[in-house]
Amino acid sequence: MKAKFKPQRVLWLDMEMTGLDPVEDFPIEVAMIVTDWEFTEIARFEGAAHWCSEKIQARFDKNKSFWYGDGAAAREQLIAQNKATKTTKAQLERDILVFLDEHFDDAPILLAGNSIHQDRRFIDHWFKKFSKRLHYRMLDVSAWKVVFEGKYGKKFAKPEDHRALEDIRGSIMELKYYLKKVKPWPINNLKNLSWVCLVCG
C-alpha cells in the first residue's frame, strides 16, 4: 500500500527555455517559489546557467516564430543575462538543491506550475539530482484552465512576461482565480457534514 502524499508546502517552478525539446533546447533561466496551501510566498529562488552563445542563438533562430514575435523582448533580456552569468549548469543545480534543503524535508516534493509537465521534462533531462527530489504527482494549473474555459467559459487573463519569476506569480494568481469560483456548500448527511463544490458565476 502506498504511503499517503500530503505535502505541507508547494514548489512552484518556471523555466525559460530556448524551445520545447528537452534534448536540443537549453534551460536558460530557473525560478522557484515555495508556498503553503494558502499560496503565501515563503521563499523564492532565481538562477541562470551560462550556455554557449552561438548554441543559444541557433535555438532561438530555430524557434523564431515565438522568439522573434511575442518573445522578442524576453529574448534580448535572456541573451544579455546569458552573457553576464558565469554559473555553470552543475553549479545551478547545486544552488537549487541547497534551496530545496532549506525549505523542504526529505519527502518527495510537489512541483507546481503552468504546463508543468514541460518543465519537468527539462528537469529530468538536465537536472537529474533535482529530479530525484520530486514526487511523480504535480499540480498543473493548465488543467484547471482547460476545465474552466471548456466547461464554464471562465477565462483568466494571465500576464505573459516570459520571464520565469513573474510567470510563476501569474500561475499562482491564476489558480487563486479558479479557486475563488469554487465555493463549499454544506449538506447534512445524517451524522457528518459533507461538502460539495459549486462553480459560481
Q: Between residues 35 and 197, which one has the greater pLDDT? A: 35
Give the least confident one: 50-54, 103-107, 195-199.
195-199
**Integer Cα distance of 6 and 107 in angstroms:** 10
pLDDT of residue 196: 47
Longest dimension (CA), the chain: 69
Structural domain containing residue 32: 10-199
The answer to whether residue 1 sits within a structural domain is no
pLDDT tens, position by position, 152-166: 898 898 776 668 899
pLDDT of residue 164: 87
CATH code where residue 126 lies: 3.30.420.10
The answer to whether residue 2 sits within a structural domain is no
pLDDT of residue 184: 64
Number of domains in the chain: 1
The single residue of 136, 152, 177, 178 carrying the catalytic annotation is: 136
pLDDT of residue 190: 42
pLDDT of residue 100: 98
Average pLDDT over residues 25-51: 97
136 counts as catalytic: yes
pLDDT tens, position by position, 137-191: 999 999 999 999 999 898 898 776 668 899 999 999 999 999 988 866 555 544 4
The answer to whether residue 5 sits within a structural domain is no
pLDDT of residue 5: 86
The answer to whether residue 4 sits within a structural domain is no
The answer to whether residue 133 sits within a structural domain is yes
pLDDT tens, position by position, 68-126: 998 999 999 999 999 999 999 999 999 999 999 999 999 999 999 999 999 999 999 99
The answer to whether residue 171 sits within a structural domain is yes
pTM of the model: 0.88
In the chain, alpha helices (H): 53-62, 64-67, 72-84, 89-103, 116-126, 128-132, 141-152, 164-180
The answer to whether residue 3 sits within a structural domain is no
> Would you state the cell numbers that stand for residue 121, as one nine-digit string?
521534462
Q: Can you tell me which residue has the cell 502506498?
A: 2
Question: Per DSSP, what are the bridge partners of residue 35?
Answer: 10, 41
The answer to whether residue 100 sits within a structural domain is yes
